Amino acid sequence: QNSMVLSAAIFVTLIGLIIYLHFVKVDQESLLVIGSLGIQVTSSYASGKESTTFIEMGQVKDVVINEAIHMQKVIYYLCILLQDPGDPQGVSEVVPLFQSSKPRLDCLIEVYKSCQEILEQRKTAPQSS
């Protein structure tokens, strides 16, 4: 009977590990910004599963570096501000990026600068009807 309990405990542990690797443990995060189309955010999990989110460029108001205080420490993270359809000056939603990898501020600044360059090109490009 002890071996039955031990076998069940091992089985439950293995199932828990598989679920953790498949749904929780993010291995890699990427951001692809295409000025004429939008922003694609991809998370690759340790199991090989990928989760992709696409945000149309018309919904993007801005990309910012935000800061939060967590456990007596300042944490910086990159966010996409989505434009409120009812209020052109308002923000409807804040989409945080790189939640699992938590890159350092100097890395976030490089990504931020690249995103701002692309957003500026989109704003200065002539609008086609």
Q: To the nearest whole percent, how much of the chain has pLDDT over 70?
A: 96
HEC string of 27-43 equals EEEEEEEECCCEEEEEE
The answer as to whether 53 is a domain residue is yes
The answer as to whether 48 is a domain residue is yes
Band the pLDDT of 32: cuts 50, 70, 90. Answer: very high
pLDDT at 25: 78
The answer as to whether 91 is a domain residue is yes
Domain carrying residue 116: 1-124
The answer as to whether 110 is a domain residue is yes
Task: Please count the structural domains in the chain.
Answer: 1
The answer as to whether 129 is a domain residue is no
Measured CA distances, 50 to 13, 93, 98, 109 (Å) = 24, 23, 14, 26
**Is the whole model's pTM more than 0.85, yes or no?**
no
Contact between 95 and 55 under an 8 Å Cβ cutoff? The reply is: yes
